[in-house]
Structure 1
């Protein structure tokens, strides 16, 4: 059996779920569209949007298609993005009346970054002629979006223009179906051709042509005889609490009770909408759900498979969780949800008795509130979201840490240096091995990376810093591994307390397409938002404006934009990395973080005096260091 995994992707209200169910009807897996087969969750039905990726199977052309229906709302983009790397092809749905939307461009860019072969379906052509939408798709997404609604023959000239060898065949012999199919397959694989089909999912028009195109032009290859390989793209829990790891078998086979690394599979399940059934064998190319693998997490590569690539659509907001139940109960519930959605990154601060999660937007908070109520019986609310700041330094600075309670000893001297933006934390050593043995130096390196170090302006994570080991000391009898952990943490914090610290804020690349009459308002708003704006560029009858904007200034702006453009404007916001904060003083004042009261991230050192540990405040610690004598 040949398996093909396709994902249906779109902006909200493009008709994505309608198309998914129509494909299932055409493939004989569903009698009639119901709107609830894939969007089976009560919240999905109440809101009319897809929140959780779901999957189903159908047959067509002798192939088994595994269909993944993904969320279209930007707040659940991380859920959508996790499925992209396991797709053999994506079908991007564009509403003909509405045209390309901002989220469509976001999806398109991620598919390009991951190299996923992509088909398009211009939907709702019973409500609007496809011509303008097709022109917009070719203008905004790619000129290689070619209408194949009538098959390859009518598009022969357009296809031949995209391949020199095919052009030679076409000029000499005219249209040759075998040659054109072979060339089109290769162009689809290389993303030099994006087959486009026009129709109406609701009426079933154009769906068969789309399926025929997938049959003819999509040629994935999987080897069931190869060594086992699989990738984990999701985690779900059954109503009885059983944890399921969602796997794509990329090579070999997997059976119930088979071994995966150190784990052993319990059951194999085949997911079909809200239901599932036992699966006796999962062959290469197959999607399945496996129980009994508690150590397998989203993104893991199993067997010979590499890990899945990390997502680019990461939350840039955090929210404090407000709850009345015991903290342990709240933390446990959120850790379960984090297992299913790692982007949540739930963090419990025992010092402040505060639980925070990372989120994409307000709708996600509303969904989380309901999930916690229905699944865990917990009533929670959330404080207003805040942007996720980072911190770095502007100039090199030294820091020292000493940890010497009775019968313990370790001392570390580090130099922190600014590193390129987006590079994270790195480590190097200038300490000779005759001063500190290599095994201790390697342990110090481990401790540099094993925790998130907090900055001293707002307590936000430290980034874009190179930590250089200058000196270190161990005691022949009293040094234990944990001693260097304490001294490394103190040395980094000690350096930050003396540093020229820089607060970094997340920014977004704003791209807007507006009527010329609305361009002035947009440019005025961007100026108010401290944006770096490029000159406006005419694009057809409209105006394209691009800018880099602090994320904090864009919160709620999508609704404002939609209002003054009367829904005719197109707005896309993509992560644009971190930049120095445009209002550092205000941000620091809002956070009201006191680094000296953060005892879990202390800069003070501990020295032994008269048989007991003595705390030396960070301002005085450098003068006491043994390495500096």
Structure 2
């Protein structure tokens, strides 16, 4: 028996969770198919998910297909919860991307497929809702090839399209795309001696290498096409790899709290075997934790086990300090960030009877489940801010605080989350016991601009042996933390910081007395002086605030273009291409993140409800409209 960790991904409302229910029913895990509308599905277990009919948190369920055990991970489809999808991608062996036969390729569909291809995750495409009026087959295949990826292999045809009697009929082809990657198949095509066995072998090999993507049509409601999809999952996607006898190594992709408030870490094991009572290092600090219990997913339920081997997904208890993204055991290469970070933020306003300490604790718990909300507390103003992807996420945070913690909150207006970029180079230094420096530490720093996307690099121009390593580490850690708030209060994401001077007071004491902290340098001295030096260097270099822009694409009736363009100008959107084809038009360009939600709200009225829009984060551009956006700086990360 082999294992497969499978992700189900889609644009919201494409039928992803309904397909999960149908898969579980087809393999005998559940007797009755749950309904998203009725809130009775296996994977949407949160009360808020059931009420809103959307997936907010990823969920794991297991089933067997002959000799294959599948750990299926259902992920959110709404773009406001893309961070939840990102955490799952790093632990997958394969994926099923769900597309609606009616709505077709949508904004999130494109974002997901680009990422799956970039990560080379073997992916099957399931076109759902063939029983719905307006469902398409040939036209949708063309759209998949044009707007998603040309590397698709249709796995059959559809009859009675758009009716409850719609059926999927298996038949591979055309398979020209397979011949592009297989010389033997290409030669067979030229010589007209192609046989089914040769095609099947190429299909399996190329799917597992993520070179092609088989496309199935069907319906999660009627079950059409689902048996063929299950066969594809079993035969075309690769098994999980990893040596159970190797060194222990796993990745935490989800953290939740149990009934007693204990942390539970969802972990994909990539190597070795982890057992209860094992002590395992995790996170950047390599803190050791004691595994007190292990749960694995099997046959649609969670079962307690004494161990979990490589390839499996498990729930682990006992790792109190664990965080999402931590590696257990042997460190693994970080995969980096797949999707753009949040570009919006808001201030949480407690209700009149809401205890602020309880609110802070509740928000901290939410940040454990979603670190990208980036909880920040302003001690001076006694305000807490969170980062967001969109308005729906804000509504979910509000509802979660009310339902799970009994806390009433509102929010201030959502504002764009800007960044600061260096204009030039700046240097500063504070010397130990000179010029009013209150800290027993010498620190000199030079800051220089770095290419966009390169992150923060810390370098040394001083000898590593010039002072204890712990002091260097204190400076670097403080530099990275301080760059979270530049001259205008925004993060400074891309720069090089070089330490140019260092010095300290060695351990000293008065005669016949022990160590005297007032005469000797400590890490606190370096953590205290570094922000002063860095702030001065930033002022000398200068920074410019950049606001987030989103790329958008609007398709609408051609006769509405005249009404649409002035509104785009009003919202500071910049059309880059405008195209009219017959009765339809298409406008592509960029719009400030701060105005994106308003554009989405106004589009139906401007286009008689026929306009379609997709958007995704584009880039940061210098803020030139109005006063420079400013965010108060005396904050600390919670």
CA offset at residue 18 of structure 1?
Answer: 1.0
Matches within 5 A, 1:70-469: 70-127=75-132, 128-149=135-156, 150-151=169-170, 153-156=172-175, 159-172=178-191, 174-222=193-241, 223-261=243-281, 262-271=288-297, 276-304=302-330, 306=332, 309-311=335-337, 312-323=339-350, 324-401=353-430, 404=433, 408-430=439-461, 442-443=472-473, 445-453=475-483, 455=485, 457-469=487-499
Aligned CA distance change for structure 1 residues 74 and 221 (closer, same or farther; 3 Å): closer
Q: Give the equivalent residue in structure 2 for 1:624.
A: none
The C-alpha deviation readout for 1:599-629, integer Å capped at 9, x for no partner, is 999xxxxxxxxxxxxxxxxxxxxxxxxxxxx
Instruction: Report if the CA contact (8 A) 2:62-2:301 is conserved.
Output: no
Measured after TM superposition, the shift of residue 40 of structure 1 is: 2.4
Contact kept? 2:9, 2:97, Cα under 8 Å: yes
Question: Secondary structure at the residue paired with 1:232?
Answer: strand
Which range moves more in the overlay, 542-551 or 359-368?
542-551
Deviation of the 1:577 alpha carbon? 3.1
Paired residue secondary structure (2:595):
helix
Secondary structure at 1:91 match in 2? strand
Q: Say if 1:509 and 1:546, in contact at 8 Å, map to a contact too.
A: yes
Q: Say which SS state the counterpart of residue 413 (structure 2) adopts.
A: coil
Is the 8 Å Cα contact of residues 479 and 530 (structure 2) preserved in structure 1? Answer: no
3-state secondary structure, aligned to 1:233? strand
Asked whether the 8 Å contact 2:577–2:589 carries over to 1, the reply is no
Supply the distance in 2 between the matched residues of 1:194 and 1:58 (Cα, whole angstroms): 23
Deviations 1:338-386 (A, max 9, x none): 1111111112222221111111112112211222222222222221221
Residues 28 and 351 (structure 1 numbering): CA distance in 2 closer, same or farther, change over 3 Å?
A: same
SS in 2 for 1:143: coil
**Equivalent residue number for residue 572 of structure 1:** 614
1:483 and 2:509 aligned: no
Provide the C-alpha distance between the structure 2 equivalents of 1:470 and 1:244, rounded to a whole number of angstroms.
Answer: 44
TM-score (norm 1): 0.86
User: CA shift at 1:490, angstroms?
Assistant: 0.6
Tell whether the 8 Å contact from 2:62 to 2:300 is kept in structure 1 after alignment. no
Please say if residues 392 and 455 of structure 1, whose CA atoms lie closer than 8 Å, have aligned partners that are also in contact: no
Q: How many residues align?
A: 594
Q: Partners in 1 of 2:432 and 2:206 — Cα distance? A: 62
Q: Distance in 2 between matches of 1:479 and 1:47?
A: 59
Q: CA RMSD in A?
A: 3.1
Q: Relative to structure 1, is the Cα distance of residues 533 and 326 closer, same or farther in structure 2, using a 3 angstrom cutoff?
A: same
Following TM superposition, by how much is the alpha carbon of 1:119 offset from its aligned partner in structure 2, in angstroms?
0.9
- How far apart, in 2, do the equivalents of 1:260 and 1:433 lie? 30
Secondary structure, aligned partner of 1:534: strand
Instruction: Tell me if structure 1 keeps the 8 A contact 2:458–2:476.
Output: no
CA–CA distance in structure 2, aligned partners of residues 157 and 279 of structure 1: 47
- Structure 2 distance, partners of 1:294, 1:355, is 25
Give the equivalent residue in structure 2 for 1:559: 601
Gaps of 5+ in 2: 157-168, 282-287, 509-518
User: In structure 2, the residue corresponding to 1:209 is in which secondary structure?
Assistant: helix
- C-alpha displacement at 1:305, in angstroms? 5.6
Question: Contact conserved, 1:122 with 1:134, CA < 8 A, in 2?
Answer: no
Give the Cα–Cα distance (whole angstroms) in 2 for the partners of residues 152 and 363 of structure 1. 41
Cα deviation digits, residues 101-152 of structure 1 (max 9, x gap): 1111111122123221111111111122322222211110012222103446
SS across alignment from 1:20: helix
Taking a change above 3 Å as real, the CA distance of residues 47 and 491 of structure 1, as seen in their structure-2 partners, is same
Q: Does the 8 Å contact 2:439/2:526 carry over to 1?
A: no
Q: Alpha-carbon deviations, 1:34-53, whole Å to 9, x = none?
A: 12222222211211111111
Cα 1:366/1:443, change in 2 over 3 Å? closer
**Within 2, Cα distance between the matches of 1:251 and 1:440?**
32
Q: Judging changes above 3 Å, is the alpha-carbon distance between structure 1 residues 296 and 172 closer, same or farther for their aligned structure 2 residues?
A: farther
Q: Distance in 2 between matches of 1:61 and 1:568?
A: 46
- Distance in 2, Cα, partners of 1:56 & 1:79: 16
Report which stretch shifted further, 551-560 or 521-530.
521-530
- Runs of 5+ unmatched residues, structure 1: 602-629
Alpha-carbon distance in structure 2 between the residues aligned to 1:394 and 1:473: 29
Superposition TM-score, scaled by structure 2 size: 0.85
Question: Is the CA contact 1:316–1:388 (under 8 Å) kept in the aligned structure 2?
Answer: yes
Q: Which is further off, 462-471 or 380-389?
A: 462-471
| Correspondence list, 1:582-593, <5 A | 582-583=624-625, 585=627, 587-588=629-630, 591=631, 593=632
After TM superposition, give the deviation of residue 16 of structure 1 in Å: 1.1
Map residues 524-563 of structure 1 onto 2, 5 A cutoff. Answer: 524-536=566-578, 543-563=585-605
SS at match of 2:620: strand
1:179-203 CA deviation, whole Å, 9 max, x = no partner?
A: 3232112211232211000111100
Q: Distance in 1 between matches of 2:576 and 2:13?
A: 31
